[in-house]
Amino acid sequence: MATDVEIDDSLYSRQRYVLGDSAMKRMAQSSILLYGVGGLGAEIAKNIVLAGIKSLTIQDPAITTRHDLGTQFFLREEDAQAGRNRAEATVGRLSELNPYVSIDTVTSDIDLTSDLSYLKDFQCVILTDLPLQVRVRINQFCRSQSPQIKFLSADVYGLFSGAFCDFGDKFEVMDPNGEEPKETFIASITKDNPGVVTSLDNKMHGFESQDTITFKEVNGMTILNGRQVKIEVISPYAFTIGDTTGEEFGVYESGGIATQVKVPKTLQFNSMEVELKQPSIMLLDFRKWEIPIHVHVGFIALDRFREQNQRFPNVWCKSDAAEMVRLAQDIASQLDEKLSSIHTDVIESISFTCKGCFAPLCAAQGGIIAQEAIKALTGKFTPMKQWLYLDALDLLNDTDRQQPELFKARGDRYDQLRICIGENCMRKFAAVKLFMVGCGAIGCEMLKNYALMGIGTDHKGQIIITDNDLIEKSNLNRQFLFRPHHIQKPKSVTAAESVLQINPDLHIVPQQNKVCPQTEESTYPDRFYENLDIVVNALDNVEARRYVDSRCVTSQRPLLESGTMGTKGHTQVIVPHLTESYVSQRDPPDEEVPYCTLKSFPANIEHCIQWARDKFESSFVHKPSNFNKFWSNAGNIKEIIEKLKTGQSVDGAVTTSKLLKLHLNTWYDCIRIGRHKFEKLFNHKARHLLDAFPLETRLADGTLFWQSPKRPPVPLQFNLNDPQHLSFVISSARLYADIFGVQWTQKDLEPVAVKSILSKVDIPPYVPTNKKVETVETKVSKEVEISGDELVEAAVRIQETLQNENNEKGLKLLKPAEFEKDDDSNGHIDFITDAANLRASMYHIESSDRLQVKRIAGHIVPAIATTTAAVAGMISIELVKVVEKFPREKYTNCFLNLALPIMLLSEPGPAERTVIREGLSFTIWDRWEVKGHKDLTLKEFLQYFKVTYGFEASMVGQGVKLVYVPFMPQHQKRLTQPMLKLLKASNNQKYVDLVVSFAAADEEDIPGPPVRYFFGL
């Protein structure tokens, strides 16, 4: 990153939402040494460089071979042919990822006699591909320094990976989880020992025991305001805060907010030497809870085998595996907690595959280790304690294990993969037809994995990718296939070109289509999906995921689903007739903010930001759009004017007349209206609320109207010397000028020039009004009633405007804004930030920085490359299982949070079964097919279900159209009509999908599975 430690917001914007400015700045001053740039090292390097540290040094004495091309995506065939050093061959392409990171290379080796003094230049050291004794020595050196150098070690051997973390004797974690501090409004605080705090309106506080919280705005027991206390949770709605019986506490009266405080904590780590014998191992999969300790022993045995034999065990060599088992048994007996027996299958599998390297494991482990390195530099998030083992042992099936020849190296780029999964699986990979929707962050990582795995390289195989987006600068921080010169180019086309450089054998077809109902018939019909082997989601929104899931269910195709949000990620395997689908599990809906809260009674900054976003849409998008629509649809203007004069409402007329009233023809006019807007929103609005509800107002039960969470507003007095006040006027004026086509220059935006104009602007006085203030939370926004006087006034204003313009066509259409969060030059986020913070000031709510406003207003999903890499690696492991058609118990869904860090691996849920009657049931994957003919009537169609399934059909529907409902009289006439006439069918359509429900005794109708009716033409 830049030497002045300034952060390029357009490049790092999504990551800043995850790490924050302080962590980003600490990274910008830090240096890392990474030893070994094989497959795992390349993944770690990629993620660290994308994250944006000051400098990275990659050290590797190895020479590039074709063997490396199966896992190391920065290396090329020409590097292997030239025998280039791996570090030197990598550095050029690695440097392209981030111009702000300085990258150096070292080509010397490290052994037990090496001078380690050069490591003092680094804050963190990461080791791969080194003997265990050397790693122990380096770890001891790092611990001996002051300050201690943070130490990480990781390796991938075949289908197994392991990682170790040691951040020293005292490592301070500034923010354990990275979550926004939780906050709850208070209903009561008891005067007791301990005092009990209860949340308002029975809303869950979200705190945990031993959390530290602080109070503000408490009335009565005011001594708590500003005080920090540790709590004990007694229910989701209450917690204790210690003794509140003392006289100094007073008696709680009302109000108050309890806010979680992030308190730094200090962690202590053991050295690698200690942890080898008494390992602290993270448990990832409760189905295989006993496996990690055996992998730990197996890795130590592998290193000992290499030390004794000066080589790794040979590929699928039983005698070498037997020796590995003996070594493992000896090591197991030396652990502090001795293992009574060894999991022989695990040790043998490590021995059989260790000369290979499974690329998806490199991706997953590379994301995890890079995130740990970021923690080491920043103190942001909780480090892992201290070992993590991740395996793909399930990929070895019993049939292939009996044929060792399938795993032998053949001297090509796929040898490392072949050693792991065998030639038969490799051939299936090559012939796969895969469709990936989305080519963003996850999509880029997926494509890299597919290139390394040889997906779609056979003449029968193919990868089809689609994404209708163009590349933006903010994408470069995590979408590693893209470079600065790709900005504004199509994502799919660019990703295809980039991944072909990794593996030219790929058969890849880039498209720029949306996958949605509008392209269902023309571009991606049923026959498209039916020609695929697998579909992969690389999407960033739930709606699109649900749609692709529905298409996979209809076409009965497996779907690999994944997603990320900051340090959190998920993967889900969806297999026809085996697992539930994506829509089977639904997240709880987001809690909607009541209309009256947003409009008049905000309680937090989020409410203010949403209000400001709504104001932007109303003022600069909807109103000018309606203005243009009015004139486009106006027809006879004289007739419209006459209608308005007689009190008849005309769509858009009042809005149009108000915009005509503004008379924005000069920059002075725009500043004037910006100043008027300030007065209306932040002064007059507050005064109106206080007129409607004076501070002493009480509710029917005698309690004060203005009490938490309702805050009484304070009318803001405009101050020329307040930067926020001035900024709001300027940002408003800019937007109005752009809409009305008024020219302005940068000089016009200067405070001196704006102040000069404002000194001449008349301010409209506050006029009390009887306009009702909505206070009922269940009420929603409704259309504002327009009075007859307003309609007449609109008629007069439109008529005067036309007379001044001399003709109806003389009116100039407006240019509505199109909200764009990523263009900082358009002033959109400036307006929303100013408006939100002024509203917050009016209600005594803590203000927000521009970054947070941009995230909330722009609905930006926080993102970081480390999580993306880990998630893409985990779901790519499942691709092998889908191709091999594994049983459900072999598949793995994953939820991870690298901030904590946790990874939870679990078996996918089964497809839920719906019982129609005893002996007749179905799942979401089932489909009934009815073969018809051109003369088949609706009555005959219904008879088919009665005869075949023993049920009377109670409803037949096609999409949103009701084809047959028995109790509707007109539908009885349809019984004799042909199905061909009743159903909507496009040209050459051979079938339609219908919904048929069945009547059940004393119960609601039961919807059956989808029914595909073939016309038989």
Q: Catalytic site residues?
A: 596
Q: What is the distance between the alpha carbons of residues 611 and 613, in angstroms, rounded to a whole number?
A: 5
Structure tokens at 374: 């970021």
Q: What is the distance between the alpha carbons of residues 238 and 206, in angstroms, rounded to a whole number?
A: 10
Q: What is the distance between the alpha carbons of residues 1012 and 927, in angstroms, rounded to a whole number?
A: 7
Calculate the alpha carbon distances from 40 to 738, 770, 858 in Å: 51, 69, 35
259: three-class secondary structure by DSSP: strand
Do 565 and 861 touch, CB atoms closer than 8 A? yes
Q: What is the distance between the alpha carbons of residues 624 and 817, in angstroms, rounded to a whole number?
A: 8
Structure tokens at 572: 């889900």
User: Cβ-count burial of 183 within 10 angstroms (0-12 exposed, 13-18 middle, 19+ buried)?
Assistant: middle
Q: What is the distance between the alpha carbons of residues 978 and 964, in angstroms, rounded to a whole number?
A: 13
Q: What is the distance between the alpha carbons of residues 752 and 756, in angstroms, rounded to a whole number?
A: 6
861, 896, 889: which is closest to 875 by C-alpha?
896
Q: How many Å is the Cα radius of gyration of the chain? A: 33
Residue 945's contacts (CB-CB under 8 Å, 6 or more residues apart) are 951, 952, 953, 996, 998
Q: What is the distance between the alpha carbons of residues 687 and 918, in angstroms, rounded to a whole number?
A: 68
Do 965 and 952 touch, CB atoms closer than 8 A? no
206, 211, 218, 281: which is closest to 244 by C-alpha?
218
Residue 937 gets the label, from left (phi > 0), alpha (psi -120 to 50) or beta, of beta
Q: What angle do CA 845, 850, 854 make, to 5 degrees?
A: 105
In the block, which residue shows the tokens 């009484």?
A: 712
User: Cβ-count burial of 499 within 10 angstroms (0-12 exposed, 13-18 middle, 19+ buried)?
Assistant: buried
User: Cβ-count burial of 867 within 10 angstroms (0-12 exposed, 13-18 middle, 19+ buried)?
Assistant: buried
Residue 150's contacts (CB-CB under 8 Å, 6 or more residues apart) are 123, 124, 125, 142, 166, 167, 168, 171, 373, 376, 377
423: three-class secondary structure by DSSP: helix
Beta bridge partners of 257: 185, 216
Strands 961-964 and 1006-1007: unpaired
Q: What angle do CA 537, 363, 172 make, to 5 degrees?
A: 110
Q: What is the distance between the alpha carbons of residues 425 and 80, in angstroms, rounded to a whole number?
A: 26
Structure tokens at 280: 């602290």
**Residue 71 burial (CB count, 10 A):** 27
Q: What is the distance between the alpha carbons of residues 490 and 472, in angstroms, rounded to a whole number?
A: 10
Calculate the alpha carbon distances from 7 to 12, 54, 417, 441, 457 in Å: 7, 12, 40, 21, 41
Residue 336's contacts (CB-CB under 8 Å, 6 or more residues apart) are 277, 278
Structure tokens at 36: 């070994």
Helices of type H across 843-992: 850-857, 865-883, 938-949, 969-972, 979-982
State which amino acid sits at residue 744.
W
